[in-house]
């Protein structure tokens, strides 16, 4: 099949841009590496600039992955920018990237900074129909869901991709017609990278079945994108997205439809952590939200999801707080423990929970976090107490325990305060906790105290502390 003329190729990009509304008047950052695709992008956009009211600004980023070629790449891009009459901005990574993901993140961070400085409407990249086909096949191979097989969008998150309408062969044709020899990156031929193996081995084999396989996959991606967009709108209408500062979802408010439920949860995860889940991970998150047995948690890319009774909490791994080491509490003193104030031998007026200790016990009081196998006063399991009171798992490791000789005497707010003598002991929640943003309301509700002692329990079952 003959390669279309440059005019035909530009016309196809024009129609694609108009259909998707991706080229808007004003400054536009054009990402140019010097390869055939990005070079063709600059040439096509220069042809369309007056028609769409574009003010082009070329941006080139040196990843420091090819130090010997970096200067020549930058010089090539500078010449191209001069040819199309666009100013150029050049950026450089602080260090060589450890992998493709790090390189991509650094590049897009630079491009977004340039766009912000210029007040640009978007950043244009040279992704082609070939890139789209490779992306869809890679996502399918990795078990992606609908969002993954929708591939790259013409416009998303401030990135526009006008060349999704044409193939890599056509970008090369544009360069030849302009008598430009684009730069070549040898890493694009290395079969160490999955995308290159799809490009060099998988797509050529599929093209033997259908010579127009790239266009066929692109049409499939566009159809998947339409369905995914409808699902996204339905998910937004369904609500249940958490406040990004808390990441808390009331599972009772999730939609009953399975596909919609998964989408709401996946969107919530992306909102809180910035990470996109594949199909298997989305299903695991939905299963967690549907579970009913107490508290559970799963680790997912970017953080942790916790199911705590009626709530699903989404958080990054850095939000967990290690408990303080054990702290001795002397008579006539007080201490702070993860937002609690514990006093001994002092005025307890205003304290939410109060009790009394004999002098011998009071002289050996230590406040600490829970330990495996802890029992209250040598009786019922502390774990049962937490479960009965529905204390979220994330709070159990930082709950204050008043101990003597390593025996747990009191879990403030959960068990009865000791009353063995005249030395006053008190506890109250005062805030200013290092776990900022946590909800400790369970601690300050006197009606929740010793909940397990107020409820009749079936004989023969697990018993709480007495």
The 10s digit of each residue's pLDDT in 300-326 is: 888 888 887 778 888 876 545 667 889
Residue 461 lies in a domain: no
pLDDT at 436: 36
Whether residues 290 and 368 share a domain: the answer is no
Instruction: Quick: pLDDT tens for 130-159.
Output: 999 999 999 898 877 777 888 999 999 899
pLDDT at 68: 86
Which pTM does this prediction carry? Answer: 0.62
Q: Residue 330: pLDDT above 90?
A: yes
Tally of domains within the chain: 3
Q: Residue 455: pLDDT above 50?
A: no
Whether residues 246 and 344 share a domain: the answer is no
CATH number of the domain enclosing 297: 3.30.465
Whether residues 78 and 180 share a domain: the answer is yes
Instruction: Quick: pLDDT tens for 219-256.
Output: 999 999 888 888 778 777 765 455 544 678 888 878 88
Whether residues 250 and 358 share a domain: the answer is no
Q: Residue 437: pLDDT above 50?
A: no
Residue 102 lies in a domain: yes
pLDDT at 243: 52
Residue 59 lies in a domain: yes
**How far is residue 62's CA from residue 239's CA, in Å, rounded to a whole number?**
42
Query: Average model confidence (pLDDT) for the chain?
Result: 85
pLDDT at 384: 85
Residue 289 lies in a domain: yes
Whether residues 18 and 151 share a domain: the answer is yes
Average pLDDT over residues 355-369: 95
Whether residues 352 and 416 share a domain: the answer is yes
- Report in angstroms the alpha-carbon separations of 63 from 87, 126, 187: 20, 17, 13
Confidence band (pLDDT; 50, 70, 90) for 447? very low
Query: pLDDT higher for 26 or 249?
Result: 26
Whether residues 138 and 286 share a domain: the answer is no
Most confidently predicted of 164-173, 183-192, 274-283, 431-440: 164-173
Q: Which of 18-22, 90-94, 340-344, 455-459 has the lowest mean pLDDT?
A: 455-459
Q: Are the C-beta atoms of residues 391 and 399 closer than 8 Å to each other?
A: yes
- What is the secondary structure of 373-398 as a DSSP string? T-BBTTSSBHHHHHHHTT--HHHHTT
CATH number of the domain enclosing 40: 3.40.50.620
Whether residues 200 and 125 share a domain: the answer is yes
Instruction: Quick: pLDDT tens for 55-102.
Output: 999 999 998 888 889 999 999 999 999 999 999 999 999 888 887 788
Average pLDDT over residues 321-349: 89
Instruction: Quick: pLDDT tens for 381-394.
Output: 898 888 888 777 76
Residue 99 lies in a domain: yes
**How far is residue 200's CA from residue 211's CA, in Å, rounded to a whole number?**
15
Residue 21 lies in a domain: yes
Query: pLDDT higher for 462 or 155?
Result: 155
Whether residues 28 and 74 share a domain: the answer is yes
- DSSP letter at 325 equals P
Percent of the residues in the chain that have a pLDDT greater than 90, as a whole number: 50
> Whole domain around residue 315: which residue ranges?
239-319
Whether residues 214 and 260 share a domain: the answer is no
Q: Residue 458: pLDDT above 80?
A: no
Query: pLDDT higher for 429 or 392?
Result: 429
Residue 462 lies in a domain: no
Average pLDDT over residues 273-277: 80
Residue 29 lies in a domain: yes
Question: Among the three residues 191, 223, 255, which one is the final residue of a domain in this structure?
Answer: 223
Instruction: Quick: pLDDT tens for 254-269.
Output: 888 888 888 888 888 8
pLDDT at 239: 56
Whether residues 252 and 211 share a domain: the answer is no
Question: Among the three residues 270, 297, 319, which one is the final residue of a domain in this structure?
Answer: 319
Average pLDDT over residues 341-367: 93
Question: Among the three residues 189, 223, 257, which one is the final residue of a domain in this structure?
Answer: 223
Whether residues 274 and 177 share a domain: the answer is no
């Amino acid at each position: 099949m003959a390669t279309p003329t440059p005019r035909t190729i530009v016309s196809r990009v024009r129609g694609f841009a108009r259909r998707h509304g991706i080229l808007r008047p004003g400054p536009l950052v054009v990402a140019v590496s010097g390869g055939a695709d990005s070079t063709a992008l600059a040439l096509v956009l220069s042809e369309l600039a007056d028609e769409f009211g574009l003010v082009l600004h070329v941006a080139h980023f040196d990843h420091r992955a090819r130090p010997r070629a970096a200067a020549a790449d930058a010089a090539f891009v500078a010449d191209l920018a001069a040819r199309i009459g666009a100013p150029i901005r050049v950026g450089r990574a602080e260090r060589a990237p450890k992998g493709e993901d790090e390189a991509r993140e650094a590049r897009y961070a630079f491009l977004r900074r340039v766009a912000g400085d210029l007040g640009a409407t978007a950043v244009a990249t040279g992704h082609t129909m070939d890139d789209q086909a490779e992306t869809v096949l890679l996502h399918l191979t990795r078990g992606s869901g609908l969002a993954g097989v929708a591939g790259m969008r013409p416009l998303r998150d401030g990135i526009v991709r006008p060349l999704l309408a044409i193939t890599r062969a056509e970008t090369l044709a544009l360069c030849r017609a302009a008598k430009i020899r684009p730069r070549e990156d040898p890493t694009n031929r290395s079969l160490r990278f999955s995308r290159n193996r799809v490009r060099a081995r998988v797509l050529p084999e599929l093209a033997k079945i259908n010579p127009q396989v790239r266009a066929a996959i692109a049409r499939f991606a566009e159809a998947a994108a339409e369905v995914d967009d409808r699902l996204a709108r339905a998910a937004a209408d369904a609500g249940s997205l958490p406040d990004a500062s808390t990441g808390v979802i009331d599972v009772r408010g999730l939609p009953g439809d399975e596909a919609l439920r998964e989408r709401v949860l996946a969107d919530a995860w992306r909102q809180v952590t910035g990470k996109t889940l594949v199909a298997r991970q989305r299903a695991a998150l939905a299963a967690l939200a549907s579970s009913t047995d107490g508290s559970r948690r799963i680790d997912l890319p970017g953080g942790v999801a916790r199911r705590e009774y009626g709530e699903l909490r989404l958080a990054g791994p850095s939000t967990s707080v290690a408990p303080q080491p054990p702290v001795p509490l002397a008579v006539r003193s007080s201490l702070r423990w993860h937002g609690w104030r514990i006093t001994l031998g002092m005025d307890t007026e205003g304290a939410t929970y109060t009790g009394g200790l004999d002098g011998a016990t009071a002289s050996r009081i230590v406040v600490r976090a829970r330990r495996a196998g802890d029992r209250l006063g040598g009786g019922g399991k502390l774990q049962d107490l937490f479960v009965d009171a529905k204390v979220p798992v994330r709070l159990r490791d930082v709950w204050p325990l008043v101990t003597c000789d390593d025996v747990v005497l009191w879990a403030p707010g959960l068990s009865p305060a000791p009353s063995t003598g005249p030395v006053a002991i008190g506890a109250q929640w005062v805030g200013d906790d290092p776990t900022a943003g946590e909800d400790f309301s369970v601690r300050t509700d006197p009606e929740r105290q010793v909940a397990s002692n107020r409820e009749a329990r079936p004989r023969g079952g697990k018993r709480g502390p007495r």
